[in-house]
Amino acid sequence: MLSEASNGEALLRRAETRRRWSLAMPALIVIALFSILPLAVMVVYSFLTPGTYGNVVWQFSLDGWFSVVFERDLFDDTLGLADAHLSILGRSALLALATTGLTMLFGLPTAWFIATRPVATRAYWMFLITVPFWTNLLVRTIAIQEVIRADGTINRLLLGLGVIDAPIQMMFTNGAVLLGMTYVYLPLMVLPVYAAIEKFDFRLAEAAYDLHASRFYCLRRVIFPLIRPGIVAGSILVFIPALGAYVTPRLMGGGRAMMWGNLIDLQFGQGRNWPLGAALSVSLTLLVMIALVLSVRRFAGGGRSDV
């Protein structure tokens, strides 16, 4: 009797597992089709030979990957590091990091402000945060241009007030790119941080004050560890797209200094070297993956050990 029952249970469990898999199957197929397959195409293309007029020739080659890191001197063919690629990657990473830092600087107080409003009004504040998303990225970037260009709002205002005599050159600088990126990615930081702060039990802060914690100490040891998962999520959401940003650097930077995304575009377009473009894209994906794995290891458990 007993063994029969457990046998039946096992059967039931197996049926249950099967049912779950078959229910998940449509989602898994979609993921495989739209996420893994394109990536696989990119990986395959990075190992092929460039065609004469763009596209690829189905012939195995490591040249694409080789040129990501190395190059032969234009003049005498001596082998060296592709320092142009490395400096472009360095600039992209630095800019993405700076964007993450700035969105954090502006995003944290914003999220805090919203989360501490009465419950009834919070929805309206959140609604305001999402307003920029209603407009296309290109339009938003051009709007920012309008504000900072030589004949733009800020310069005209300062000239009119007599603060400056000649317009300040703000367009086509690294500062302009950073401003544009911060503006574009700010909501991606505010949303997860807000979600984390909203869940925060403010009685914990009161308890900290009761135990004579200073405001700063309370922020550092009580509030920050508890909202850290939100900050980490926000940073990842901002850093990853910022690293591959294309439109904003192109428009705000004036095209004089490339980002990784523009370099990829160059290889697929005028450069007619698709394998190198594919290898550059895959390297970006790999870098992001490594950064993610590291950050998950570092921040796993959301700082519970500190509390």
Using only the alpha carbons of the chain, give its radius of gyration: 26
| Rounded distance between C-alpha atoms, residue 52 and residue 111, angstroms | 52
| Rounded distance between C-alpha atoms, residue 58 and residue 204, angstroms | 63
The kind and range of the H/E element at 49 are strand 49-50
* Least distance between other proteins and beta carbon 293 (Å): 29
Does 244 contact other proteins by CB under 8 A? no
| Rounded distance between C-alpha atoms, residue 209 and residue 265, angstroms | 55
Which C-beta is closer to other proteins: that of 213 or that of 257? 257
- If phi over 0 gives left and psi between -120 and 50 gives alpha, with beta otherwise, what is residue 77? left
Q: Give, in order, the Cα–Cα distances in Å from 130 to each of 124, 186, 234, 241.
A: 10, 10, 15, 18
Does 42 contact other proteins by CB under 8 A? no
Does 88 contact other proteins by CB under 8 A? yes
Give Dmax over CA atoms of the chain in angstroms.
96
Which C-beta is closer to other proteins: that of 109 or that of 254? 254
Q: Which of 66, 106, 125, 172 is in the footprint of other proteins by CB under 8 A?
A: 172
Which C-beta is closer to other proteins: that of 155 or that of 182? 155
Does 281 contact other proteins by CB under 8 A? no
CB 108 within 8 Å of CB 231: yes
Which C-beta is closer to other proteins: that of 11 or that of 69? 69
Q: Which of 71, 125, 195, 303 is in the footprint of other proteins by CB under 8 A?
A: 71
Does 269 contact other proteins by CB under 8 A? yes
* Least distance between other proteins and beta carbon 251 (Å): 7
Instruction: Name the site residues for other proteins (rule: CB under 8 A).
Output: 50, 52-55, 71, 74-77, 84-85, 87-88, 138, 149-151, 171-172, 247, 250-251, 254-258, 262-263, 266-273
